[in-house]
Amino acid sequence: MRIVLLGAPGSGKGTQAQRLLARFGVPQISTGDLLRSAVGRGTPLGLRAKAAMDAGALVADQIVVGIIRERLGGADAATGYVLDGFPRNLAQAEALAAMLAAIGQPLDAVVLFNVDYAEIARRISGRRTCPNCGTIFNVHDHATPGITHCTKCAAAPALTQRPDDNEQTVTRRLAVYDEQTRPLIEHYRAQGLLRTVDAQGSVDEVTARLISVLTRKPAAARKPARQARPKRPRKAPAKAPVESKARRKSARKKARVERKAAPARKSAPRTTHKARSKGKRKVVRKKPVRKVVRKPARKPARKPVRKRARRR
């Protein structure tokens, strides 16, 4: 399993990376932990990274890529890993792709954690870390309200708060995330690697959603959208020349004179449709009208009346 956890600071990537470590046995590679370790040891890269971390800005790509390259060369990362907080911009994503292609281990998935920014500010302000085991707790969590000591270590050391876990720094970090890290969403979506998880809710609920997303098949890569061709401007139709009123009047007068001077035309005999279709002209002559003379009706003949003989 080779995955990247992508999301705003405080979205729960570190907590869920620890859950994946316990479930699948793959190491959690956190750029934040690696950088803080370098800062604590006082290495040259750590000192350069400290100034950017204190100001809430992103560490230079050259520093982060060098640290990640060394970590991926470890024996425990040969079977898989969970990258937490890396890459953070397009340049780092391209450097990571080239690095993984060289060793023949491409990414399996990139999981995006969706959380409201107001919830992120609340989470970061209540985040506490164990200095021994690195376990992350939250004083606002329902399972551990107001926790002050680690419950996983036998010595139960007091939890510490990172110096950049305050509201002012969170606002700057979110602005940097929107500007530099958010473009990675479309970058990995186009490759068919992106999967999204609703990261709001209890830790167990988010873990169940994360496992469900990782066991699903990835969506097919989207084809790049075709660029629309620029439309050619349509040519305006040519306008007919405008004639003056006097010119039109003279033209009508000339047409009337020509009609009067032309000889009268005889009307052509009418032709039938059938004759026209054959190319012949058939003359239809009118039949002369016969005058019907009605004879007076004869009166029916009277029967002869027999005279009766008079009796004497």
Domains of the chain in sequence order: 2-115+169-215 (3.40.50.300)
Residue 104 contacts residue 78 (beta carbons within 8 Å): no
Decide if 36 is catalytic: no
Q: What pLDDT is stored for residue 265 in this prediction?
A: 61
Decide if 69 is catalytic: no
* Range with the poorest average pLDDT among 70-74, 91-95, 248-252, 305-309: 305-309
Catalytic-labelled residue, pool 19, 71, 123, 173:
173
Decide if 13 is catalytic: yes
Catalytic-labelled residue, pool 13, 71, 128, 195:
13
Catalytic-labelled residue, pool 19, 71, 88, 195:
88
Decide if 122 is catalytic: no
- pLDDT: which is higher, 219 or 103: 103
Catalytic-labelled residue, pool 127, 128, 195, 209:
127
Decide if 226 is catalytic: no
Question: Smallest Cα–Cα separation from 1: which of 289, 19, 182?
Answer: 19
Catalytic-labelled residue, pool 2, 48, 162, 189:
162
Tens-place pLDDT, residues 151-165: 888 888 899 888 777
Tens-place pLDDT, residues 273-301: 555 555 555 556 666 666 666 666 666 66
Q: DSSP string covering 170-208, please? A: HHHHHHHIIIIITHHHHHHHHTT-EEEEE--S-HHHHHH
Collapsing DSSP states into helix, strand and coil, what is residue 125?
helix
- pLDDT: which is higher, 272 or 77: 77
pLDDT bucket at 221, cuts 50 / 70 / 90: very low
Place of tokens 């970061």: 124
